[in-house]
Structure 1
Amino acid sequence: MLLFTGLISACSTDEEVTEHRYLFTGGGDYWSAELEYEAEEVWGKDADDVNTYSSESDYVFKLTYKGELAELASMEQLDYKFTRGTTGEGISSITFDEPVSDKEFTSRGGGTGAIMREDMIVNVEVNWDDNEESFELVESR
């Protein structure tokens, strides 16, 4: 039995993996948004028995106009920004040369570094032509 336990211990890794999956949602009078966020944190030890840490994250941000598409047809400029606490921000700027043909705008990203937590609030700022709106997203799962 001791030999079996020793074999199992030799085969196990010293890594601990934590996965995060959150959906932040919210909106204002004109726009609504959602942020799908996934991250993975890995703690372990290197060959010298020194603690190690790494993280990776990915997100999909969707901004949707609440009104009729015809109301956006003449829009020439759309700028939006979402701030994820101290973990970063996403910024998009779109110039339209033709009438707008969709009410939903999506951006994707990811990286390494600080990980979002479910109790964070995401601040969203939207500017379209001469209009602006700000609102918050909160975790909704």
Structure 2
Amino acid sequence: MKKFVILLVTVCLFGACSTDSSDVEYTNAENENNPTLENALSSPDGIGVNLRIMAIPEGSTEVCGLKKQQVAEIEILQVNKVGRNLTHTPKKNTRFNWEFLSGTDALEVGQVLQVSAKEKLCPNGTTYFSVLSYKQVSLGD
């Protein structure tokens, strides 16, 4: 099996949230050379991205069918670098469109992401996420 480089992204909506992971989390202050999404996508080994939805808007119990604290694993299908749009499909086969609003290809702590679902699970839904932390993970053969 090919080696894949995966970015593990922990996202939170409008505020702080904690993770139960014992793994080391990296922030820009701790590691100025964090891998960018653009660099990862150009990797010859291929790339996947795991996104953890850790919180949802106040007053809501779910976002697009994903309940609070539920984890969504989402794989990049294609990238439009001009518009900075990323199309993902999670395991539920729900298609999401992720757009970088900060005007950069780098994935940075504190960056705001916009997500809108393309299927019935989240009709006309748009959600804003703020990146808290992320790290690069390699999977063995």
**What TM-score, normalized to structure 1?**
0.31
Structure 1 or 2, whichever has the larger Rg, is 1
Q: Which structure is richer in relative contact order (CA contacts within 8 A, separation 6 or more)?
A: 2
| Higher fraction of strand | 1
| Higher fraction of helix | 1
**What TM-score, normalized to structure 2?**
0.31
